Amino acid sequence: MQPNTLLDAVLDEAGISHAGLAAHVNQAGRARGLALRYEHTAVARWLKGQRPRGQVPDLICEVLAGRLQRPVTLDDIGLGVPGEPAAPHGTTLSGFVERATALWRSDEQQRPHLLGAPAVTGTPAVMPVWEWENPPEDVDVSRGGRQRVRMSDIEMLRAARAHYEQMYRKAGGVATRTRIVGFLNSETAPLLRGSYTDATGRQLHRATGGLVAIAGICAYDSDAHGLAQRYFHQALRLAKASGDRGLGAYVIALLVNQALFMRENRQAVAFAEAALRAAGRHITPALASDLSAMQAKAYAHLGDGSSALSCIRRAEQAADRIRRGYEPDETGYVQPGLVNVQVAEALLSLGDLAAAREHAAAAVDNPAHDRGRVHRLAMLSQIELRQGNADRAVVTAVEMAERARGMESQRLRDRLRAVREHLVASGCAGTSEAAELIDGALRVPL
């Protein structure tokens, strides 16, 4: 059950409260001979994704249409009948834009029914990837709106994506998410609703897709997994509208990473394979190496050592072909050493501690942004403990804790806690100092 951000947006536009909508629906029902007794709690359930029964969806449309002085359809409020074709605008790119911007608005307003929503699984999780990979394509993405979109606007979006990505790497997703979502609402949404040709529109959708992907990363880093998934799905749809297969493969890599975190390992393997297959020659060596390395991790978690090792070889071969300056901005996260730390995790799951440590040490020896370095040090410390080298693990953990200080990231907090638990369990000398430093880093409020 997904939050109904469209209904939320129309309620906000109409200036009607939850209790007010319930009262008006009851009144409209009485005119039809229905004895309804809805309260604000029922509206809250609808916003969480519950579909009201019987004639109530039509009554909601009637109430809101009267308030807004324009027609309001079931699709406009996210209550289109399951299994029936949507209204024409609901399946178009413009319909997608309205749903996407409704989500951004709800996120900026920190609606609890949105922030706490779980990630979907099964068919709803797979369909956006299937739709990206398969026809039909968007023949024409031009739009006629009030604001004319210029190349300077698109350059602004690209610069914003780079800015927020760097902010995320330095400060974490918790601090960055509110800022990027505010930008999506104030700057990006009016452009998507503006006026542009097909050629300009494709560049606009590509630039927006890159921004929305960063918003998804920040939501993932904040532990809002349902919200992150919806942002990733939006970015995938925007990538399709742009016609850039490489951007779509990058977004799927983000979905693969989330699937690994959620222990959906078979889904991670399938998604990575879809990206590699569908992007084909449009996929860059950096992205191919990351997708293959994540596949190796998924296979290792599934206990399939042969497939994991095959993916490791593919990842290493692709990494050798990376040429800096020939990669798109989005794959800049595939820095030297990233594949090593991914491979180290796969080998650790397979029980090959010596090879895992070799890769983890190589990852640490390569330069990385602050956030990436914390993850690499955490992996190395964990392997050193498994090898029985507790003293060395403490030294590594101390550096990790010092670098993590000040970052607002739920994922980093998870890594820090895991390392602390392993250190304390080892009972080695110096553990108290490392644990104290980790506790200090964890005291940063989220």
Q: What is the pLDDT of residues 175-193, one digit of tens each?
A: 999 999 999 999 999 999 9
Q: Are residues 282 and 204 in the same domain?
A: no
d(CA 422, CA 379): 12
- pLDDT at 119 (0 to 100): 92
Give me the percent of the chain exceeding a pLDDT of 90.
62
Say if residues 25 and 47 touch (Cβ distance below 8 Å). no
Tell me: pLDDT of 386 over 60.
yes
Mean pLDDT of 325-345: 93
Amino acid 87: pLDDT: 40
Average pLDDT over all residues of the chain? 90
Percent of the chain's residues with pLDDT above 70:
96
CA dihedral 298, 293, 255, 338 (to 10 degrees): 130
Instruction: Give the pLDDT confidence score for residue 292 in this predicted structure.
Output: 97
Q: How large is the average pLDDT for residues 114-122?
A: 87
Q: How far is CA 296 from the centre of its chain?
A: 21
Query: Which of residues 176 and 94 earns the better pLDDT score?
Result: 176
Asked whether residue 379 falls in the same domain as residue 427, the answer is: yes
Please state the φ and ψ torsions of residue 224, each to the nearest 5 degrees. Answer: -95, 80
Q: What was the pLDDT predicted at 353? A: 95
What's the pLDDT at 104? 94
Q: Is residue 252 part of a domain?
A: no
Task: Clarify whether residues 98 and 231 are in a common domain.
Answer: yes
| pLDDT higher than 70, residue 86 | no
Q: What is the pLDDT of residue 376?
A: 94
Considering the domain architecture, whether residues 189 and 277 belong to the same structural domain is answered as no
**Residues 220 and 278 grouped into a single domain:** no
**Residue 401 and residue 437 in contact, taking contact as beta carbons nearer than 8 Å:** yes
Model confidence at 403: pLDDT above 80? yes
For residues 128 and 84, state if they share a domain.
no
Same domain, 273 and 389: no
Q: Is 255 inside a domain boundary?
A: no
Cβ neighbours of residue 310 closer than 8 Å, sequence gap 6 or more: none
Overall average pLDDT of the 35-49 stretch = 91
CA distance 277 to 283: 9
**pLDDT tens-digit series, residues 214-273:** 999 999 999 999 999 999 999 999 999 999 999 999 999 999 999 999 999 999 999 999
| Same domain (yes/no): 156, 73 | no
| Structural domains of the chain, count | 4
Q: Which of 62, 91, 120 is the last residue of a domain?
A: 91
Of 64, 91, 118, the residue that ends a domain is: 91
Looking at the structure, tell me whether residues 359 and 374 fall in a common domain. Answer: no
What pLDDT is attached to residue 53?
Answer: 87
Q: Which domain holds residue 404?
A: 369-446
**Considering 306, 340, 367, which residue would you say is the last residue of a domain?**
367
Domain co-membership, 196 together with 178:
yes
Does 108 share its domain with 235?
yes
At residue 404, what are phi and psi to the nearest 5 degrees? -80, -15
- Tell me whether residue 201 is in a domain: yes
Do residues 172 and 214 share a domain? yes
